[in-house]
Structure 1
């Protein structure tokens, strides 16, 4: 059973917002000017409204300014995170893990020593493979995973994407919207069944290479046939 999520206190929430604010300000030069505009425009309108209809509208203007700042922070922080993630191996899996919805992510189900990797994602659209790395090397990994999975996923759709900025590649900043636009082909029950099937495939034990260790050998006489008296 999934453990319940721990409640985040108000102070921790403010600390998280401050960290996101600082990160976005360092990555995005337009962020601070946009925040200033988001504060000044609602406050200026509030002053005009307060002069005409009374100062009781000032709290409303302050709340609108805070809301505008949060909207700017949300939009620009996502953009900054996508820009920072470009070129970093493993970033695609991390982005999907933080997406809303039921996405089961297994990072680097297949990889090379050169840090080329393929991530496995299971969700309501079906099975998704995300490849990161050198296009020539990672296409081979992608082909191997597609052949391996096609034997066990049944009729579930299989999608694959090569993350990058080249031709026929998916930019990482478009990954989230691309996955969200995929059709919902499976129900929650189907996703659970598919997830269990693929986990069982990955957990299947393999015989060790070379001589069998003594502690794994059957006792002497285990296979000796008994003679009739």
Structure 2
């Protein structure tokens, strides 16, 4: 018996359409917060293309260099689009609780992120990430209250992993705090001193410290029970 013909399109074609759809969605979202995006993208492409065409004309190969210019123009345009998309994304969540955790979640492989390890009733919150630079603590909220929270978390870490470097930052709009973009750039510049194989071991040792969600009982607090120290 003849087998029925499979009309299912090949997976690579599906993947290409999915990628194009994602790029289109990213462009639509970015352009809402970045009105100059079309000018930047068009200007980048035309500038790169013009440089290659001029060089090609000077050496007698304008069409050959022009074709290469198109490829490099598209590449440069995608780089500019990625950076402006990231800037627009950060701008849309700047000042919101949990924005710093979103930056941590966007880090490349090699990081383990634990959001919400400590907080206050005023919505000051501290997140933790473990990577090759060591342990990163980042707080969002009031600078004065965060100073105490971060110091408390550093003290805990000193008891559990005393030999691991600890970096703490405050993200926000107050004086002395970093913007989301500044925080992201600062993380990228941290020296890598921890072997990749040790990251998982360090993170497992930190599990004993728990998170804010693990410290709170499910449902309403029983009468007379006080919240954990981090919530005071």
Equivalent residue number for residue 20 of structure 1: 26
Mapped to 2, the partners of 1:69 and 1:108 lie a distance apart of 37
Larger helix fraction of residues: 2
- 2:110 equivalent to 1:81: no
Residues 72-125 of structure 1: per-residue CA shift (max 9 Å, x gap): 202211222222231011111111221124111100111233321100111111
Equivalent residue number for residue 151 of structure 1: 159
CA-CA distance at 1:42 after TM superposition: 4.2
- 2:131 equivalent to 1:113: no
Equivalent residue number for residue 69 of structure 1: 77
Equivalent residue number for residue 225 of structure 1: none
Residues 138-168 of structure 1: per-residue CA shift (max 9 Å, x gap): 3332222222222101211111111123332
Equivalent residue number for residue 125 of structure 1: 133
Equivalent pairs, count: 202
Secondary structure of the equivalent of 1:151?
helix
Residues 46-80 of structure 1: per-residue CA shift (max 9 Å, x gap): 66647954645554343233223212202211222
Mapped to 2, the partners of 1:40 and 1:189 lie a distance apart of 45
Q: Is the 8 A contact 2:100 2:138 kept in 1?
A: yes
Cα pair distance change 1:12/1:145, threshold 3 Å: same
User: What are the equivalent positions in structure 2 for 1:171-186 lying under 5 Å apart?
Assistant: 171-186=179-194
Q: Is the 8 A contact 2:34 2:88 kept in 1?
A: yes
Mapped to 2, the partners of 1:61 and 1:169 lie a distance apart of 42
Secondary structure of the equivalent of 1:190?
helix
User: What are the equivalent positions in structure 2 for 1:158-177 lying under 5 Å apart?
Assistant: 158-177=166-185
Equivalent residue number for residue 4 of structure 2: none
Q: Normalising by structure 1, what TM-score?
A: 0.75
Q: Any unmatched runs of 5+ in structure 2?
A: 1-11, 223-232
- The structure whose Rg is larger is 1
Equivalent residue number for residue 11 of structure 1: 17
- 2:107 equivalent to 1:99: yes
Q: Any unmatched runs of 5+ in structure 1?
A: 1-6, 211-229
Cα pair distance change 1:46/1:145, threshold 3 Å: closer
Secondary structure of the equivalent of 1:127?
strand
Equivalent residue number for residue 206 of structure 2: 198
Residues 191-220 of structure 1: per-residue CA shift (max 9 Å, x gap): 2211110113428x99x999xxxxxxxxxx
Equivalent residue number for residue 4 of structure 1: none
